[in-house]
């Protein structure tokens, strides 16, 4: 399974998720951001690659639906409801990611 994690700038939340889940057996993980200043910006190739897309907040889902609605057909899109209040590899962020994604692995 290919899992894509998306936040705004791809510096803290989605990058943390990529880091902590990259060694999960049977799962390939990437991350990206929706902002024009994102470390890695969401693109159609990443969406096509993904089987499962996790977004941190509902506005990321809305952004994807506005910009890539055709590419999202048949994709599982999950809103994790993790606010932009955490830094890269923050322990509380890691716990929230592990708990919120548990039903999907």
Percent of the chain residues past pLDDT 90, beyond the cut: 99
Q: What is the pTM of this model?
A: 0.96
Q: Which of 74, 73, 47 is nearest to 60 (CA)?
A: 47
Split at pLDDT 50, 70, 90, the class of 66 is: very high
CA dist 52 and 6 (Å) reads 11
Instruction: Go through the domains of the chain in sequence order and give each one's CATH number.
Output: 2-100 (3.40.50.2300)
Mean pLDDT of the 46-58 span: 97
Split at pLDDT 50, 70, 90, the class of 102 is: very high
Mean pLDDT of the 46-61 span: 98
Q: 3-class SS at 42? A: coil
Q: What is the pLDDT of residues 6-34, one digit of tens each?
A: 999 999 999 999 999 999 999 999 999 99
């Amino acid at each position: 399974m290919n899992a894509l994690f998306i936040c705004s700038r791809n510096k803290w939340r989605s990058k943390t998720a990529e880091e902590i889940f990259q060694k999960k057996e049977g799962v390939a993980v990437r991350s990206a951001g929706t902002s024009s200043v994102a470390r890695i910006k969401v693109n159609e190739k990443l969406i096509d690659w993904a089987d499962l897309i996790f977004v941190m907040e509902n506005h990321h889902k809305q952004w994807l639906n506005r910009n890539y609605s055709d590419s999202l057909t048949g994709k599982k899109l999950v809103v994790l409801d993790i606010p932009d209040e955490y830094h890269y590899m923050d322990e509380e962020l890691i716990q929230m990611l592990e708990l919120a994604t548990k039903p999907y692995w």
